[in-house]
Each structure stands twice: as structure tokens, then as C-alpha cells.
Amino acid sequence: MSREASPADVLGFEVRGIKGEPIRFGDFAGKVVLVVNTASRCGFTPQYAGLQKLHETFGPRGLVVIGCPCNQFGAQEPEGEAGIARFCELNYGVDFLLTEKIEVNGPGAHPLFRYLTSACPGVLGTQPVKWNFTKFLIDKAGVPVRRYAPTTSPAALADDIEALLSRFAFQRAVGSDGSFSDSQYSPSWPTACRKRSKSTGLRM
């Protein structure tokens, strides 16, 4: 999908992987997705270890972790894609998905992040990403449900991820024309990103 497209939900987006391969969010229908803008020379860079732990713990149950390297904050991701991939593997054993270097703010922001920041504003309703390792949690229907600050450790997301993995029954088929059809969908999570769920107590 072109960078100018505006899908109706996250499942319509596509990004290029760190090795040039397409990463199609439609392939993650029925899975919980965690999107994080990352950097290799940031004080929060050790969070890569925590993200890898989430991937190892919840990946077999349907969590997809996607790191999106970005150089917009303090020029803390200066390397090219090959260098980033090597750094992440050698230092943190990362084997979850990484995208090519992208922008998350401004006129060059990838449409995925334009969508996520609009759907899940930050403090006081501000949309732009504030720093590296801002995190967006997306439910099995492709709906962003919570945004986390860079200071929030990956381990702190575990309960929210567990809730999303446990509380949905969802299947979505992709037609030959690229359209989606729902064969089963039992929502149990509010769609408003930053409201508190009375049933789960989760702040979104």
C-alpha cells in the first residue's frame, strides 16, 4: 500500500521491513500488535531487552512486536538499516520485527504513525510522539487501545497484553481483492484509546 493511503484501521497499513520486505498489518488480523519507535543510542535503548522478553513470552499466543527505528529525537538512530539490525541482534538478541528507518512526526511521518498518534493522543491530547520508545498497543481488530510513554517499561505492559490476548475471539479473512471479512468478532474492549475500561480497569 502506498504511503499516501489512509486505511480505515491499522489492518490496512503496510510498512517496509528493515531488510526491505513488506510488513502487512492485514497479516496480523486476530493478533495483538505492539508498535514502538526505537533508537540505538538513547537512554531508553535497553528497553529492547524488555520488548524481546514480551515477544518471547506472548509471541506464541499472538502478540506481534514491531520496532520502528527513527532518528528524529536527538539524532539517536544515525545508523543505516544493516547497522541497526546488527546492533539489535548482537546487543539484545532481537528477533521481533523491525521496520526500515521512518519518521513518526511532521510532514514526512509514515501514515501508520499519523494514524496512531491521531487515534491515541498523548498527554493533554497532544498528538506528536514525544521521544524514542513511545508504545502503541493495538487489539485484534486493528484498533489502537493504549499509548504508553517512553518512560513506561515494556514489562509494565504485560497485564494489558494479557487482557487483550485473553478477551477477544476474532477471525478476519482477507479476500483476493484485499478486502476484509469478519467471520467472528466478539469485542470486549472499548475502542476509545484513552478512556478507562470499567470491566478491566485499564487506562487507555
Q: How far apart (Å, rounded) are the C-alpha atoms in residues 135 and 26?
A: 20
Alpha helices per DSSP H over 59-204: 81-92, 111-119, 158-166
Q: How far apart (Å, rounded) are the C-alpha atoms in residues 31 and 38?
A: 21
Which residue, chain included where needed, has cell 504485560?
A: 158
3-state secondary structure of 131: coil
Q: How far apart (Å, rounded) are the C-alpha atoms in residues 81 and 99?
A: 9
Residue 6, C-alpha cell as written in the block: 489512509
Catalytic residue positions, numbered: 42
Which residue, chain included where needed, has cell 487482557?
A: 163
